[in-house]
Amino acid sequence: MPLAPTTLQVTGNTPEQSYPVLVGNGLLGQLPELLSATVKKVLVIHPRALRATGDLVRDDLAGAGFEALTAEIPDAEEGKHIQVASFCWEVLGKNDFTRTDAIVAVGGGAVTDLAGFVAATWLRGVKVIHIPTSLLAMVDAAVGGKTGINTAEGKNLVGAFHPPAAVLVDLDALATLPKNELINGMAEVVKTGFIADERILELIEEDPADAIDPSGARLRELVERTIAVKVGVVSRDLKESGEREFLNYGHTLAHAIELAERYQMRHGAAVAIGLSFAAELGRSVGYTSDEVAERHQSILKSLGLPTTYRNDRWAALLDGMKRDKKSRGGQLRFVVLEEIGKPRIYEVPDNSLLFAAYQEIGE
């Protein structure tokens, strides 16, 4: 008998910033009741790879009395471009979507980012509900209200904060997710363990193979614990003015790698390398102990995630990191660990320190 859904509540300063995150199995049937009575039209945005799922959600909504239609966008990061957003705006405009109508995002993190951005910008903001279908989106992208698109200059440099009306984390989607995508999503889970919840790390260390078994209870606990951390942080800091910056642990180098790879590397793989780098940086400047730094390596490797990157890319990576959203006045800022569960911001006084840390993960 399946477990009852778990509801985690994001609590913002206003009703519009507060919403439930439901975690469980067989949750798609709850979508119609999460759309308020004022909603008449719903646009379901989904990637090409999830056409059948997008059509199913549309048909369910139509059966519940909504005027529902779909917008198919390119898969993965190819969908996060201004041209794709413009296409979605065109669909909304041609179908007379009003401020009381809604968007439903079905897909991975790139889809929730793009659909959230479209919702934030159409008529200065319409309702959006996320149905994440990848582990990465479930534990990270779908929760928190960050939306964005990519530009030639970097990842997510154009975006807005636009909290969803609800998030449906249906774990049934993980059963059909390729193993490499489950592993990809675990990078964000590991990150959360290091910055906030050591039990996450212990659950992985106890049985790394079971941690990525979509039918097991261990993965559900990892998902719920990771989401719970993000829900708490977002409730206290919606617009990344303080504590929420810690959720970017490992992401400064990760985003630079993605840019250098023209977004052909999976986000989780880049984050894993970024975590290794952040641990080495923290160790080299005296914040992170040898034991904690080496624990990064062992856990990431046990899951099959990468921990090294090419030595010959340093100049491009440094240039990419200078565009990071955490930078202030041209000075690079990194999240490092004083100890597990105790992150801090480190303002880098000299880029040579970054280069020295990078030598520890270069290949």
Q: Which residue numbers are catalytic?
A: 124, 146, 188, 230, 240, 244, 248, 251, 255, 267
Annotated binding site for NAD(+): 75-80, 109-113, 133-134, 146, 155
Q: Could you say which DSSP state residue 310 is in?
A: -
Q: How far apart are CA 304 and CA 209, in angstroms?
A: 10
Annotated binding site for Zn(2+): 188, 251, 267
Q: Could you say which DSSP state residue 166 is in?
A: E
Nearest to 125 by CA among 169, 161, 71, 88: 161
What are the distances in angstroms from CA 174 to CA 73, 169, 178, 180, 228?
21, 10, 8, 12, 19
Q: How many residues does the chain have?
A: 363
One-letter identity of residue 100: T
Q: How far apart are CA 273 and CA 184, in angstroms?
A: 12
Annotated binding site: 75-80, 109-113, 133-134, 146, 155, 188, 251, 267
Specify whether the CB–CB gap between 347 and 330 falls below 8 A.
no
Nearest to 61 by CA among 47, 46, 45, 41: 41
List the beta bridge partners of residue 346: 334
Judge residue 49's burial from the number of C-beta atoms within 10 Å of its C-beta, 0-12 exposed, 13-18 middle, 19 or more buried: middle
Q: What is the DSSP string of 93-131?
A: HHTT--TT-EEEEEESHHHHHHHHHHHHHGGG--EEEEE
Specify whether the CB–CB gap between 132 and 112 falls below 8 A.
yes
Instruction: Please give the distance of CA 341 from its chain centroid, rounded to a whole number.
Output: 20
163 backbone φψ class: left, alpha, beta (φ>0; ψ -120 to 50): beta
Six token digits for residue 192: 């959360």
71: three-class secondary structure by DSSP: strand
One-letter identity of residue 262: R
Q: Could you say which DSSP state residue 250 is in?
A: T
Specify whether the CB–CB gap between 117 and 159 falls below 8 A.
yes
